[in-house]
Amino acid sequence: MIAVFAPGQGSQTPGMLTPWLDLPGVTERVGAFSEVTGLDLLRLGTTADADEIKDTAVTQPLLVALGVIVAEQLGLDASGERVVAGHSVGELTAAAVSGALRGEDAVAFAARRGAAMAAACALTPTGMAALLGGDPDEVAAAIEAAGLVPANRNGAGQIVAAGSLDDLEKLAAEPPAGARVRPLAVAGAFHTHYMASAEETLASFADQIDIADPRPILLSNADGRAVTTGGDLIARLVRQVTLPVRWDLCLATCRDLGVTAALELAPGGTLTGIAKRELPGVELLAIKTPDDLAAAGRLMDSRPQHGQGEHFLPFRMVVTPVKGVFTPVEGLTEGDRVRNGQPLGVVRTNRDEHAIVAPIDGVLDEWLRHDGDIVGAGLPLVRISDGDH
């Protein structure tokens, strides 16, 4: 299985749109995205300097716009067996790649998100700092003991602390054992309670957006779990601004799913750098310029996708959103026809149970897990074909 990663804030560089404008249709797409955001993304992505594009209100829509454009150039759509995940604002790019959001809506959401987070940053002087090295649990405990929040747990020995500037200074003066502290040039404490006003703004904006169920497996920053419905996804995208980013759990789910290759959409490099350590043996490719598209295409073509192969049957994998014990619906067997929304079973945890339903009308091809099996978040339970082949 191949994974597609979408980078977040901090990966932007001046002029990052420039090389892409030579490709057919890209200038027009940038124009469309500028219209829905009210920003001149063409200028911001070509001639604006580093200081201007590090503004949160600018960075976020610019990154999502580029990610969506690159995904379109690669022909990534809602078909194909793959896993998709984005870091922080990159989760909006991932939502577009999964077919849950239109590209225009993902970029518009990013613009509203960036503006709301910038406004929240202006309310209280806050910041973020990366802690590199040390025991992850001990580092996280030290961050919390300092009155800060472990806002990003990225894996590869990197945890980002967020909170008041005074508390960040104290942590830098007395870092946890084996860790070094590197202040980050950001506007405030993202993914903490300091972004509560931004969450409120996005909750209102989200009601105006059409959202579909993700088709490829889409992993959530909140817990690394697969998101199976559009309703759950939009709620998570709203809450994401105040919740820590658990990229480490997204990568753990990729391991559980047996990911063998991963490509990072432009401006790539950060997430594949983390994956080198966290996903040993996985083939990695960071897309930085249009020159990387050919290699990305070869990487995708080397792994089976929907529509490839003379005898290939289009299908959907139904995955579990949580870790628990699976119980299928009694009497439902392989070869039976199922309807969109029909119950297939439940996954029970220690606290509650989660209904598993058919995402399409089709034929139940194969049970991949059986009654009483312990299943991990994001793992496939059943394969359903469209029944037309």
Q: How far apart are CA 293 and CA 215, in angstroms?
A: 23
Laid out side by side, the sheet with 353-357 consists of 353-357, 343-348, 324-328, 374-375
The amino acid at 283 = E
Q: How far apart are CA 73 and CA 25, in angstroms?
A: 9
DSSP character at residue 4: E
Q: Using CB atoms within 10 A of its CB, is residue 153 exposed (0-12), middle (13-18) or buried (19+)?
A: middle
Find residue 337's DSSP bridge partners: 363
Query: Among all residues, which ones are annotated catalytic?
Result: 88, 191
Radius of gyration of the chain (CA): 21
Q: How far apart are CA 358 and CA 77, in angstroms?
A: 20
Instruction: List, as one string, the DSSP characters of 102-118.
Output: -HHHHHHHHHHHHHHHH
The torsion angles phi and psi of 159, rounded to 5 degrees, stand at -130, 135
* Dmax (CA) of the chain: 65
CB-based contacts of 64: which residues, under 8 Å, 6+ apart? 89, 90, 92, 93, 96, 106, 107, 109, 110
Q: How far apart are CA 111 and CA 92, in angstroms?
A: 11
Please report how many Cα atoms fall inside a 13 Å half-sphere around the Cα of residue 170, on the Cβ side: 13
Instruction: List, as one string, the DSSP characters of 328-378.
Output: EPTT--TT-EE-TT-EEEEEE-SS-EEEEE-SSSEEEEEESS-TT-EE-TT
Q: How far apart are CA 308 and CA 306, in angstroms?
A: 6
Please measure the distance between the N-terminal and C-terminal CA atoms of the chain and give it in whole angstroms: 23
